[in-house]
Amino acid sequence: MSEAWLDAVAWDAQGLVPAIAQDAETGEVLMFAWMNRDALARTVATGEAVYFSRSRGRLWHKGEESGHIQKVRELRIDCDNDVVLLKIEQIGGMACHTGRRSCFFQKYFADGRWQAVDPVLKDPKDIYK
């Protein structure tokens, strides 16, 4: 397969592109991460989400520790070719390392505070050993 599809991505100066994981059935945004060229290529090759962890400086196969993998159902890119959207099936029901379904569990309230509004489905101590 030609790599023209990878060349079409508008990689930033660090060789990264933002990636949004969205539930393919409900449309709920589950998480945000970064991908480099290798992560995107491996995602396509395996059919499972692979990201680039900036803090670890390496590829990160989502669910490699937790078992909560993301099966990619559809892959899209935005109009500027600088954001990737993964429509996924979240295995295990949790995308967030806090044990919640989505990483976007904190809501802003008019009194100027953020508050967690989604429940912890599983204690992270029971997920990551």
> What pLDDT, on a 0 to 100 scale, did the predictor assign at position 2?
80
Place of tokens 């692979």: 50
> What pLDDT, on a 0 to 100 scale, did the predictor assign at position 61?
97
Specify whether the CB–CB gap between 2 and 25 falls below 8 A: no
CA 122 to CA 129: how far, in whole Å?
13
The domain ranges of the chain are 4-122
Six-digit token pair at 39?
Answer: 């992560």
Q: How many CB atoms lie within 10 A of CB 17?
A: 22
> What pLDDT, on a 0 to 100 scale, did the predictor assign at position 54?
95
Residue 71 forms beta bridges with which residues? 48, 89
CA 126 to CA 129: how far, in whole Å?
7
> What pLDDT, on a 0 to 100 scale, did the predictor assign at position 128?
82
> What pLDDT, on a 0 to 100 scale, did the predictor assign at position 1?
64
For the domain covering 4-122, report its CATH number.
3.10.20.810
User: Residue 55: which residues within 8 A CB-CB, separation 6 or more?
Assistant: none
Q: What is the pLDDT along the chain (129 residues), one digit of tens a residue?
A: 688 999 999 999 999 999 999 999 999 999 999 999 999 999 999 999 999 999 999 999 999 999 999 999 999 999 999 999 999 999 999 999 999 999 999 999 999 999 999 999 999 998 887
